[in-house]
Amino acid sequence: MRITNKMMSNNSLYNINNNKEYLDRLNTQMATEKKITRPSDDPIVAIRALRLRSNLSEVTQYYGANVPDAQAWVSVTQKAIDSTMDMLSTMRSLCDQGANGTNTASDRDKIYQTLEAYKNQIYSNGNVTNAGRSVFTGYRTGEKLTFTEDTEAYYKDIADTFNAKDISIEGFVRSPLNMDKINAVSSTAKSAVETDYAETQVEEEKVYRIRMSYDRLEADADGNVKLKYKEPLADADVRVIKSIVKDNVTGIISQIELADSTGTVKETLTSTDGFKPENTYTVTGGELAVHTDGSMTYTATGSPEKVYNISANGKTITSAYKETTVTVEAVKSTDGVGGTTKTAYETLKLNDANKSDTSVEETAYLLTDTGELVMGSALATKLSELKDITGVDTISVTYNKTSFNSGDLRPEHYFDCKLDVNGDGYKTGTADILYDCHDQEIYYTVGTNQNIQINTHAGDVFDTQITRELDDIMKAIQEYNVTEEKVNKLKAMQEDTITYNTEDQQKISIMLDAANKELDLAKNKLQSKYENGITAFKKFYEQSNLANTNCGTIDSRLTLISNRLMEEKSTVTTLASENENVDITNIAVEVSEAELVYNAALMATGKINQRSLIDYI
């Protein structure tokens, strides 16, 4: 084949151009420090770069934002719990100090003032926020745990819940003596003193009670409240989930079949639009309430009502029981009941065998001013023997409440209830806000397919009974101080033989015997309250300590996750760099070599093009 000069020239130019392109690519890589500038340069590198960048972005989000946010939330929570535990520990110490029986009036006053200060402060620890979000209020992160000022708010149907262990015997001292009667001793007939103010007229009476979470309560329009108690179902009434119909896209359940133990369908619960959270539906033979977390409660009509709590996915019944409702009259502690002048305390008082009168043994009253449910011995026995049901409080009392003091817990964070936003005293219900107290767990995504719960529920730390326990102790201190004042007054009168004659002194002596007996009973009651406080505050402390331990566990997990993410970020960064970036040293050598080859090609081509055919003729 004949090779012409033009062919040699073209080939030389082609090769020089290739060398030039190669040199340009190397220069570009050296300038950008990247292997490619467009996907077509190396599709494999480009695809790996996209994947590694996506992975790095995800890890950076977890490591740089999600985990630190979660750690900040847990840190704020732990500090609030630590403060609460310190206060509970001090409360217990004060009760221990008070129980030693050697306290002066000044000592009792100091204990009272400290407990009162703690009562006003302890729930405020639950108002802490992280980045403007309340940490103890579940999904309602925009709300405080407590009322921050005295408030009038129309809450109704507050379902205050208890268990059998919450029933106790409460003692109270009944005495006819007061300061007005003591001061009027000179004008009082001796026979009246001997009859009305004798030592035998001072008695300690006891009654069964459950202490509500609040005082200053209100009844419904008929002056009543509802007491409900739950008992396990008979075998024939137990239900299982037979089948469900669920939308695969929305996850909303539209039908649930409930069957007995033999598999026979007994109820079919259906909604054409599906059962949606925070709604209540009339269904076959009853009512279905769907809670904020998606779980459901089916209540079958009848007496007693049969209740089935269903999981959020509709696959299991988490608890089942029969529920009996009792209508309870609401009165004040000073009101006469049963058509008499006797108060509820006096009517339901127990004998030495802790039995109430047979005519009232099934009776109960809610004392609205003190926030106590007092009851006869037969009803108390029935409630105290209720068996525990997993995940369910076996006793509930439903009442209304309007007046809240600064520092009081907001009911929606603890109880199923309604808020009448009309503010018309519960007269209309068209503008009610329905609150659902089911557990509200907040999860943070801290890794690929890895979520961790970071919030602590308020009830795990701030028990509603903390301030009620304080109320009992402070009330007992006040009663003791009042009684001690009576004794001191009578002793001073007894020593004043000028003002009070012989007959007055005899009357004073009778009153003093009664006052001393009352003081002994008040002392015993105060001692009992201190001892109960030691036990109660220990329980509250342990409850808070458990929540604190859980926070510590979460924090430790977050630390481990953070360390792992740091290593993962470093690994992914290295892989991404190796995939995309060039080695500057190597690329510099390659550029030098390419330049040398390029220059050599130019020289060789120049020499070839200097010769022509005429040179050989």
Single-letter residue type at 586:
N
Q: Which residue has the higher pLDDT, 26 or 296?
A: 296
482-522 per-position pLDDT tens digit: 999 999 999 999 999 899 999 999 999 999 999 999 999 99
Task: Give me the amino acid identity at 354.
Answer: N
CB 393 within 8 A of CB 166: no
pLDDT in tens, 160-217: 999 999 999 999 898 999 999 999 999 999 999 999 999 999 999 999 999 999 999 9
* Cα-based distances in Å from 524 to 115, 441, 486, 608: 20, 45, 17, 123
Q: Which helix (H) or strand (E) element contains residue 503?
A: helix 502-580
In the predicted model, is pLDDT for residue 27 greater than 80? no
Of the pLDDT bands very low, low, confident and very high (cuts 50, 70, 90), residue 15 is: confident
**pLDDT at position 289, please?**
92
Q: Would you say residue 582 has pLDDT above 70?
A: no
Would the CA dihedral through 375, 377, 379, 384 be positive or negative? positive
3-state secondary structure of 563: helix
Least confident residue range of 20-34, 58-72, 225-239, 384-398: 20-34
Using the predicted structure, report yes or no on whether residue 429 has a pLDDT greater than 70.
Answer: no
pLDDT tens digits, 378-417: 999 999 999 988 888 999 999 999 999 999 999 999 999 9
**pLDDT value at residue 91:** 96
Task: Label residue 617 by pLDDT band (50, 70, 90).
Answer: low
* pLDDT for res 585: 72
- pLDDT value, residue 23: 67
Per-domain residue ranges of the chain: 5-33+584-616, 150-163+202-440
* Average of per-residue pLDDT across 140-157: 92
Output the six-digit token pair for 52: 């590694």
Q: Which of 348-352, 462-466, 596-600 has the lowest mean pLDDT?
A: 596-600
Share of the chain above pLDDT 70, in %: 89
Q: Which residue has the tokens 């259906």?
A: 270
Dihedral over alpha carbons 286, 290, 295, 299 (to 10 degrees): -20
Question: Which of 129, 159, 158, 161 shows the shortest CA–CA distance to 144?
Answer: 129
Q: How confident is the model at residue 614 (pLDDT cuts 50, 70, 90)?
A: low
* pLDDT at 261 (0 to 100): 86
State residue 593's pLDDT score.
72
Question: Residue 287: how many CB atoms within 10 A of its CB?
Answer: 15
Contacts of residue 569, defined as CB under 8 A and 6 or more positions apart, other chains included, come to 56, 59, 60, 63
pLDDT category at 218 given cuts 50, 70, 90 is very high
pLDDT at 57 over 90: no
pLDDT at 31: 64
Q: What is the pLDDT confidence band of residue 51, given thresholds at 50, 70 and 90?
A: confident
Share of the chain above pLDDT 90, in %: 66
Residue 11 has pLDDT above 80, yes or no: no
State the Rg of the chain over Cα.
40
Mean pLDDT of the chain: 88
DSSP string, 153-167: EEEEEEEEEE-GGG-
pLDDT at res. 236: 87
Spatial separation of the C-alpha atoms in residues 393 and 59, rounded to whole Å: 43
Res 609 pLDDT > 90: no
DSSP per residue over 98-126, as a string?
A: HTTS---HHHHHHHHHHHHHHHHHGGGGG
Q: Which two tokens stand for residue 601?
A: 């090609």
Q: What is the pLDDT of residue 2?
A: 62
Please check whether residue 214 is in contact with residue 370, taking contact to mean a CB–CB distance below 8 angstroms: no
Q: Each residue of 320-362: pLDDT tens digit?
A: 999 999 999 999 999 999 889 999 999 999 999 999 999 999 9
What is the C-alpha to C-alpha distance for residues 281 and 104, in angstroms, rounded to an integer? 61
Q: How far is CA 278 from CA 198, 288, 436, in A?
A: 61, 11, 8
CA quadruple 404, 407, 408, 411: dihedral, nearest 10 = 100
Cross-strand pairs, 298: 288, 308
Distance CA 613, CA 617 (A): 7
Q: What is the pLDDT of residues 521-578, one digit of tens each?
A: 999 999 999 999 999 999 999 999 999 999 999 999 999 999 999 998 888 888 876 7
Distance of CA 480 to the CA centre of its chain: 36
Closest by Cα among 377, 281, 372, 286 to 334: 372
Q: In whole angstroms, give the CA distance from residue 69 to residue 131.
A: 9
